[in-house]
Structure 1
Amino acid sequence: MDDNLFMVNVSPQTGSTPSSLSKAPHIIFVTPGKLGDSLISLVIANNLVRSGYRVTVRSNVVHDLSSWFPQFQTGPEVGHGEFPDLPNACDLCVIDSQAPNLQHQGIDLRPALARRAAFFSLAHYETPLDGLFDPSTLPKNLRHRLESLVPRHGLVRNNQMRKADMVAHALAFCRREMGLKDTTSDIGIVAPPLTRSTSQKPSQKAQIVISPTSGKVKKNWRAERFVAVAASLEKRDYEVIFAVAPSEKSEWAHHLDGRFLIADTQGVADLAMLLTGAKAVIANDSGTAHLASALGKPVVCIISSRNRFFSWRPGWREAVLVYPRVPVRSIARLWPYFVSRSRVLRETQNVLEQDLEMEKS
């Protein structure tokens, strides 16, 4: 599913003020724009909460999931014109350097902001931003505590950790660059009580969610093979539901030709609710795969890379990676032909059986 194409409820945030009126220092945390990247960055935000900070997350994705993250205050993504004054609304801003609206119509706000905000990025970082932060801009009574949170080097991905997934990279960054001690890879996502009660319907067949798209066409497995896997699962008495962004629904209605249901997922919260009721999720390298993993669901993730230590693999509940058996990634659009329907079906059946064993134990 292309997580850039969701309609997101971005009702305005209530006013945020520095913590001079509150005991806990207030941090505004600005995430990347994409679903998967946003979720990975929340490893940092959640560990700030665990360390005693009051955190407001500015992100369309997280704002839509606000009821799933009770530990955060949330607000929509920061507008270009709002960024210059953002440090005045808190004690410290922590901003992903790839966040939406930092660059607009040739104007790059990052160099000026770096004097007053701590910048980081998961994998695409501008090293000239390192060392620009001015500690004298911090509240005097909090300077010693907050200065230690400003990364010396803002790149989260550590090339020395070659087998680590990005969740592990984010966790290591919390310790290495921010000095946080009581850390966890958990992002604190919890299904709201109403969601938990409505997503569990014992009388129904076990549900498999298929997410056949992603943020880039080149990362997508072939549509007809997803449909073939769905048909095989249906014959094995599973209920199969497809999840795509609203803008992709017409195309996938054509692919499915009425054979399978397309879920009504108008936003990320709808998608999370759908995934909560799933026994397993089949997806490309996409935000949906990361969200399902964060929710603790078994994920079969179809990728173009033949590296079983692919760093962008889902990093909460371990996913099963299915990739080409031969090195064809360098040939554009060819890799999907080298991932068979039977392999994806076999791996899906394996994770379902393993999950059943876990439930029994």
Structure 2
Amino acid sequence: MRTLVARLDNVGDVLLAGPCVRAVAAHSDEVVLLAGPRGRAGAELLPGVDEVIEWCAPWIDPEPPELTQESVEALAKQLRDLRLDAALVLTSFHQSPLPLALVLRMAGVPWIGAISEDYPGSLLDLRHRVEGDPPESERALSLATAAGFTLSDGDDGRLALRGPLPDTTGLTGEPGYVVVHPAASVPARQPTAERSRAIVRALAEAGHRVLVTGAPAERRLTAEVAGDVALDLGGVTGLPELAAVLAGARVVVAPNTGPAHLAAAVGTPVVSLFAPVVPSARWAPYGVPTVVLGDQQAPCRNTRARRCPVEGHPCLAIDPADVVRSVHELSGGVS
């Protein structure tokens, strides 16, 4: 049986789909993961994935490409050539699975399941509904379970990565440091550089060895945040190397962003600097000890804003001393 799992947005979203993917893999001969360009690197790290294909969905990507007949037909042909037996379409609560379900039907996929509040007509064979506000990883796994795919015995349903990870001790030194990852893909979820810099300085003054991580486009930010008290690793790691760096940390301090979920996937506790533009119940790091900081009742709550709608970004005006206390708590008092 060849099964496709689709998750078309960011790295963090793809990582949170990991338990669902493993459940599908436990009952399939081959699993193909359809990812967007922003999530492909995460897809390649998931256990249970045999093949990754990439397509940028105009109804999902925050900078959507033009929808063209040629691009849709090319995707449909690629999917048809895979000779799929079934497909699960994973989406966030505010996204519709139906556009992709239509393309999958065009590609001849005989069975399709998704979570959908909208009437799907003949586009879905399984229209799954989820009550309440469960963590995103559990929400995705519930779709797999409803479709008859269950986790293997001994699989605890936490996030996980495909190993082995690269050796990054040449970059970091020995494990036991604290990582601060200051950036997020959505500006409203990211503390100001000044606040992140103050957190780094407070951690260093408390005796922690601090590393600052970031993507190549974030080098200016990581340099400013690291200052002269932390090791700046901005732009020097790909996703597997970043995972290894996070695995060597006692604690990771990060906003609601992919690396926070990457830290959870390698089992590292997280201090989550969480802007409430989306619910922390759904999107906080999953399956590891976590402290959520930030005003969860701020005026921006549940707005899904990409840029902070409140002057001064008050929801992330977090006292660095609270971060230090949280790191101390999660690291068992070690500095």
Structure 1: tracts of 5 or more residues without a match: 1-24, 134-149, 357-361
1:83 to 59, 67, 75: 75
**Compared with structure 1, are the counterparts of its residues 241 and 28 closer, same or farther at alpha carbon in structure 2 (3 Å cutoff)?**
same
1:132–1:57: structure 2 CA closer, same or farther, 3 Å change rule? closer
User: For the residues of structure 2 that align with 1:338 and 1:198, how far apart are their CA atoms?
Assistant: 33
2:256 counterpart of 1:285: yes
Match of 1:211 in 2: 181
Alpha-carbon distance between aligned partners in 2 of 1:186 and 1:209, rounded to the nearest angstrom: 21
SS at match of 1:332: coil
Determine which of 110, 120, 144 is the counterpart of 2:114: 120
Structure-1 residue corresponding to 2:325: 346
C-alpha contact 2:300 2:310 (8 A) present in aligned 1: yes
Q: CA deviation at 1:282?
A: 0.3
**Which of 265, 268, 274 lines up with 1:294 in the alignment?**
265
CA distance in 2, matches of 1:218, 1:66: 25
Between 336-345 and 206-215, the greater mean CA deviation after superposition: 336-345
Structure 1 residues 161 and 340, CA gap change in structure 2 (3 angstroms): same
Per-residue CA deviation, residues 130-188 of structure 1 (Å, 9 max, x unaligned), is 5324xxxxxxxxxxxxxxxx5223x6xx2x233x211122222222x312244652454
Deviates more, 1:322-331 or 1:342-351: 322-331
SS of the residue aligned with 2:33? strand
> Over residues 229-253 of structure 1, what are the superposed CA-to-partner deviations in whole Å (9 max), with x where a residue is unaligned?
2112222332211111111212432
1:189 to 149, 153, 161: 161
Q: For 2:11, give the aligned amino acid.
A: L
Percent of matched pairs sharing the same residue: 19
The answer to whether residue 250 in structure 2 is matched with residue 250 in structure 1 is no
CA distance in 1 between counterparts of 2:172 and 2:181 reads: 23
Q: Which residue of 1 aligns with 2:127?
A: 152
Question: In structure 2, which of residues 247, 256, 259 is the aligned counterpart of residue 276 of structure 1?
Answer: 247
Give the CA deviation at 1:54: 1.4
Q: How many residues align?
A: 297
In the alignment, the residues of structure 2 paired with residue 294 and residue 247 of structure 1 have an alpha-carbon distance, to the nearest angstrom, of 24
CA distance in 2, matches of 1:29, 1:222: 36
The answer (yes or no) to whether the contact 1:240–1:260 under 8 Å persists in 2 is yes
Contact between 2:33 and 2:43, CA under 8 Å: does it hold in 1?
no
Question: Residues 318 and 129 of structure 1: is their aligned pair in 2 closer, same or farther, counting only changes over 3 Å?
Answer: farther
Could you tell me whether the CA contact under 8 Å between 1:165 and 1:314 is conserved in 2?
Answer: no
Match of 2:211, SS? strand
CA distance in 1, matches of 2:277, 2:7: 29
Name the Cα RMSD after superposition. Answer: 3.4
Correspondence list, 1:19-34, <5 A: 25-34=1-10
Q: Per the alignment, do residues 152 and 75 of structure 1 end up closer, same or farther by CA in structure 2, a change over 3 Å counting?
A: same
Question: Which range moves more in the overlay, 33-42 or 319-328?
Answer: 319-328
Answering whether residue 123 of structure 2 is matched by residue 132 of structure 1, we say yes
Distance 1:170 1:97 in 2: 7
**Which blocks of at least 5 consecutive residues in structure 2 are unaligned?**
57-70, 302-308
**AA at the equivalent of 1:152:** R
Change (3 A) 1:43 1:205: closer
Task: State the 1:296 CA deviation.
Answer: 0.7
Counterpart residue type for residue 83 of structure 1: L
Higher relative contact order (CA 8 A, sep 6+): 1
Partner of 1:142: none
What's 1:312 paired with? 283
Once the two structures are superposed, the pairs formed by residues 36-115 of structure 1 within 5 Å of their partners are 36-59=12-35, 60=37, 64=41, 68-69=45-46, 71-78=48-55, 80=71, 81-85=73-77, 86-92=79-85, 94=87, 96=89, 110-114=101-105
- Calculate the TM-score normalised by the size of structure 1: 0.70
Determine the C-alpha separation between the residues in 2 that align with 1:345 and 1:172. Answer: 36
Letter in 1 for 2:310: A
Query: CA, structure 1 residues 265+336, in 2 after alignment: closer, same or farther (shift >3 Å)?
Result: farther
